[in-house]
Chain A
Amino acid sequence: MSDGLGAGGWAKRVGTLVLTVVVVVGIAAGGAFVSDQTSDDDPDRGVSMAEFQPENVTVDRAAAEGEITPDRSVVSEGGTVVIDDSHSNRWDRETIEPLVRGLTRVGYEVEVHQSGDLAAALDDAKALVVIDPGQELPSGDVDDIRRFTGQGGHLMVAGEPNRVGISASLFGTSLTTRESSLTTLGAAYGASVDTAYLRNQETADVNYKWIQTRSTDAEGMADVEQTSMYTAAAVRVRGGEPLLRAAPETRPSDSDDTTDTYPVAVRKNNAVWLGDKTFMRGDRYRVADNEVFLTYLVEFLASSDRDTSQSLDGDSDDDGSGGSQNQTVGGTEPVDSNY
């Protein structure tokens, strides 16, 4: 070599160079490893997620169990309950099935009045059920019902607040408003069903529109502790006795007023007014004590002492109108002998 370095000198220098490279690369790699350890092993380092933990977000629901168990000793011997379906009423089989089951268990027949003369349909009935009519009852029908209850017939009316629904079709979606047409019938009984739904963000069965109610001290309500109602309206009946009141802090959808404890079920003599129809539906009637309240309603409907030999027309059992077109459900014999 011209610079005087021997083979050993070159080897030392190359070795030093390689060692230097190894040390530098090693330090870099070690640093990267340490960095990876601190970032990847704990990706949520410094981030607490207590607000997402199950115990802080899950919802407790009221149990859905139990059955309608009417006491046969408090009901009248057999009879017919008419369910109105002649005023564009909005109910389906799922809505009335638990109620019908309860009535047939105590030996009652259920007739669905679809058209024709209401008085004729009520002539041999013990009770009438009116659920969420889509059109106002004409004065003649209201008069018939007044005479019916005047003779001891029992009346159960289930209204709803105004409901806004979404209609979807090939041509798009639109909003529609439905309201229970209970003005004429309610006026005849000094009753009204609010148009606003009740809501409660704190005490509810899962959703703020599924309010919880508490029973009052009214007779027959001792076994009802708490019920759930699903988009219910407040009900007011002049001189009536509330059966169920919404839980404290419940307020109407159109107001922030929490000063009132809103009644959602009221009885006055032989008429019961309800602010919700959904609580008695097949998939809801077991929630909380709904089935106990429904038992109360079955017993109420089946405890009329109306003498069915009386005509509602006052002069004849047949007013010549050709009668009414009814469908009969159930029978006079109890379905379940246990009841």
Chain B
Amino acid sequence: MSSSIRAILSRASRSYVLFVAIGLVVGLTLAPVAFQATSSDGTVAVVPLSGGITGGTSASVGSMLEQAREDPDIEAVVIVSNSGGGSASASEELYLEAKRTSEQMPVVAYVDSAALSGAYYTIAPADTIYAKPASLVGSVGTLANAPTSVEPNTIIATTGSNKLSGGDSREFYTILETLSNSFYNAVEDGRDGRLDITRSELAEAKLYSGAQAVENGMADRIGDRRSAVRAAADQAELDDYDVQILRPNRQALFLSRNSYLASNAPDKRMVSSDYFFDPDDAAPTFLMLPGSYVVDTENEPTTAARNATRPAATAREEVRA
């Protein structure tokens, strides 16, 4: 028995079969390393910004941007926007994450359906902004429900005259303007002299089509997602590159059907405007959204009213100064 095994090994050692087999094993083991070493100079990460911006969006997109910064293979980022903005606070957070990323690597933005208000804030630090004719850009500014004017009474006692109201209406508008000034500054800083409209015109919060945005400097070029990816690779000086599409870990909530339809987010749904805004709220909610997204002009019950979990509302009509 042992002599027959020795004979087989002797034959094998003399033939090429064993060496080829060993060569295949070693070759296949090293192949991925060799492939990685020769096929790509780096990776362009695609980060989707989809739906209304909330703290969840901010955490999710922020995490993707952080991942891009920390992954040594990722050399550039493309932010794809299908968003009309959202919470002012969350939008500021995203702006800073995008800015932090742009300090480290090229960031290119592509406006798919929309980059409005808080979403435009987010992409403001991008080195280049791509848009297409049907893209909507702009609505730079802040809105909020004005706080209800209340004063301490026999039911609620306070230690200061503004403890209940937070201040008078001029104080409130001052806060609103301060938030917006930060926004305008960020846009001017990000566009770095490329805006062809004045600050006053920017503050008018108009919506622009992609073509108009390129014309007025709120975007740089007409192009699609591939254009943006290629530009990001060029800016990172990548001749050969991989594209890695990062996926959010949460459902995208859309206020705009326009963006909802355009988005390819795997998990998405439409939400009512009162998810973001309820004019009956006593405390202000600061939003960076186009007003048309949150003002329900049809006299139909809002979700909040349908749920009617609070005391029955009395009709309230406001025409503010």
A residues within 8 Å of B by Cβ? Answer: 44, 46-47, 49-52, 56-59, 61, 64, 163-176, 178, 201-202, 205-210, 230-231, 249, 278, 281, 283-284, 287
In the complex, what residues of B have CB within 8 A of residue A49's CB?
96
Interface contact A166-B299, CB-CB below 8 Å: no
- Contact partner of A208 (CB less than 8 A), chosen from B182, B203, B297, B315, is B203
Closest to B313 in A: A170
Interface contact B170-A168, CB-CB below 8 Å: no
Known: A47-B103, A52-B182. 5 other contacts (CB 8 A): A52-B185, A166-B295, A170-B308, A171-B300, A202-B200
In the complex, what residues of B have CB within 8 A of residue A168's CB?
279-280, 313, 315-318
CA distance A201 to B181 in the complex (A): 12
- Contact partner of B302 (CB less than 8 A), chosen from A44, A59, A172, A230, is A172
Least distance between B65 CB and chain A CB atoms (Å): 12
B32 at the interface (CB under 8 A from A): no
Interface contact B104-A46, CB-CB below 8 Å: yes
Interface contact B204-A201, CB-CB below 8 Å: yes
Interface contact B103-A166, CB-CB below 8 Å: no
| Residues of chain B in range 260-318 having any CB-CB distance to chain A below 8 Å | 279-280, 295-302, 305, 308, 312-318
B residues within 8 Å of A by Cβ? Answer: 96, 99-100, 103-104, 168-170, 173-174, 176-178, 181-182, 185-186, 188-189, 199-201, 203-204, 279-280, 295-302, 305, 308, 312-321
Least distance between A203 CB and chain B CB atoms (Å): 10
CA distance A281 to B199 in the complex (A): 31
Of the candidates B188, B189, B313, B321, the one having the most CB atoms from chain A within 10 angstroms of its own CB is: B321
- Contact partner of B203 (CB less than 8 A), chosen from A165, A166, A201, A205, is A201
Interface contact B168-A283, CB-CB below 8 Å: yes
Interface contact A174-B298, CB-CB below 8 Å: yes
CA distance A247 to B257 in the complex (A): 41
Closest to B124 in A: A51
Given A56-B181, A173-B279, CB of A167 within 8 Å of CB of B321: no
CA distance A281 to B168 in the complex (A): 13
- Contact partner of B321 (CB less than 8 A), chosen from A175, A176, A210, is A210
- Contact partner of A206 (CB less than 8 A), chosen from B173, B200, B301, is B173
In the complex, what residues of B have CB within 8 A of residue A206's CB?
170, 173-174, 177
In the complex, what residues of B have CB within 8 A of residue A44's CB?
100
- Contact partner of A167 (CB less than 8 A), chosen from B103, B300, B316, is B316
Interface contact B185-A56, CB-CB below 8 Å: yes
Interface contact A166-B279, CB-CB below 8 Å: yes
Interface contact B189-A207, CB-CB below 8 Å: no
- Contact partner of A178 (CB less than 8 A), chosen from B200, B295, B319, is B319
Interface contact B181-A176, CB-CB below 8 Å: no
- Contact partner of A173 (CB less than 8 A), chosen from B99, B200, B295, is B295
Of the candidates B104, B203, B313, B319, the one having the most CB atoms from chain A within 10 angstroms of its own CB is: B319
Return the 8 tightest CB-CB contacts between A and B, nearest first.
A51-B185, A201-B200, A165-B319, A230-B321, A57-B181, A46-B103, A169-B315, A174-B299
Least distance between A53 CB and chain B CB atoms (Å): 9
Given A47-B100, A163-B319, A201-B203, CB of A207 within 8 Å of CB of B173: yes
CA distance A15 to B299 in the complex (A): 83
CA distance A176 to B280 in the complex (A): 17
In the complex, what residues of B have CB within 8 A of residue A171's CB?
299-301, 305
In the complex, what residues of B have CB within 8 A of residue A283's CB?
168-170
In the complex, what residues of A have CB within 8 A of residue B302's CB?
172-173
- Contact partner of B178 (CB less than 8 A), chosen from A58, A170, A209, is A58
Closest to B70 in A: A39
In the complex, what residues of A have CB within 8 A of residue B173's CB?
206-207, 210
CA distance A77 to B312 in the complex (A): 53
Closest to A56 in B: B185
Closest to A174 in B: B299
Least distance between A175 CB and chain B CB atoms (Å): 5
In the complex, what residues of A have CB within 8 A of residue B305's CB?
169-172
Least distance between B236 CB and chain A CB atoms (Å): 17
- 27 contacting pairs across A/B (C-beta < 8 A): A46-B103, A47-B100, A50-B185, A52-B185, A57-B178, A57-B185, A59-B181, A61-B170, A61-B174, A64-B170, A167-B315, A167-B316, A167-B317, A168-B280, A168-B316, A168-B318, A170-B308, A172-B302, A173-B296, A173-B297, A174-B297, A176-B317, A201-B204, A205-B170, A207-B177, A210-B173, A230-B321
Least distance between A123 CB and chain B CB atoms (Å): 34
- Contact partner of A51 (CB less than 8 A), chosen from B176, B186, B279, is B186
CA distance A172 to B174 in the complex (A): 29
Of the candidates B168, B170, B312, the one having the most CB atoms from chain A within 10 angstroms of its own CB is: B170
CA distance A170 to B200 in the complex (A): 38
In the complex, what residues of A have CB within 8 A of residue B280's CB?
168
Closest to A207 in B: B173
CA distance A227 to B158 in the complex (A): 34
- Contact partner of A59 (CB less than 8 A), chosen from B177, B185, B318, is B177
Given A59-B178, A202-B200, CB of A170 within 8 Å of CB of B312: yes
- Contact partner of A172 (CB less than 8 A), chosen from B201, B300, B317, is B300
In the complex, what residues of A have CB within 8 A of residue B296's CB?
172-174
CA distance A95 to B181 in the complex (A): 31
Interface contact A166-B181, CB-CB below 8 Å: no
CA distance A133 to B98 in the complex (A): 52
CA distance A150 to B183 in the complex (A): 55
